[in-house]
Amino acid sequence: MQNSRALSDWIIEQTTDAIIHADRSETIQRWNTAAEVLFGHSAPEAIGGNLDLIIPERLGAAHWRG
């Protein structure tokens, strides 16, 4: 199990697509290097924060309405 976790972590970090995982409360749990580049926030800044971090203010109300 440990090796497959290490492999999946490596793949997520190597991809050029931003990968962000948030839980049901919209708390960011995972933030890869491509997300850092795209959004300008490091993983330590983003993880534990809310998805509002990446939602433009003008789109926030529409996002929360679903």
Indicate the domain borders of the chain.
2-65
Answer for the pair 19, 30: CB distance below 8 angstroms, yes or no: yes
What pLDDT does 64 receive?
82
How far is it, in rounded angstroms, from Cα 49 to Cα 58? 19
What pLDDT does 1 receive?
57
Mean pLDDT (whole number) for 50-62: 92
- The highest-level CATH class for domain 2-65 is alpha beta
How far is it, in rounded angstroms, from Cα 54 to Cα 63? 11
18-50 per-position pLDDT tens digit: 999 999 999 999 999 999 999 999 999 999 999
Please state, for a pLDDT cut of 70, what percent of the chain lies above it. 98
Answer for the pair 66, 59: CB distance below 8 angstroms, yes or no: no
Please state, for a pLDDT cut of 90, what percent of the chain lies above it. 79
pTM of the model: 0.83
How far is it, in rounded angstroms, from Cα 21 to Cα 7? 17
Name the 3-class secondary structure at 15.
Answer: coil
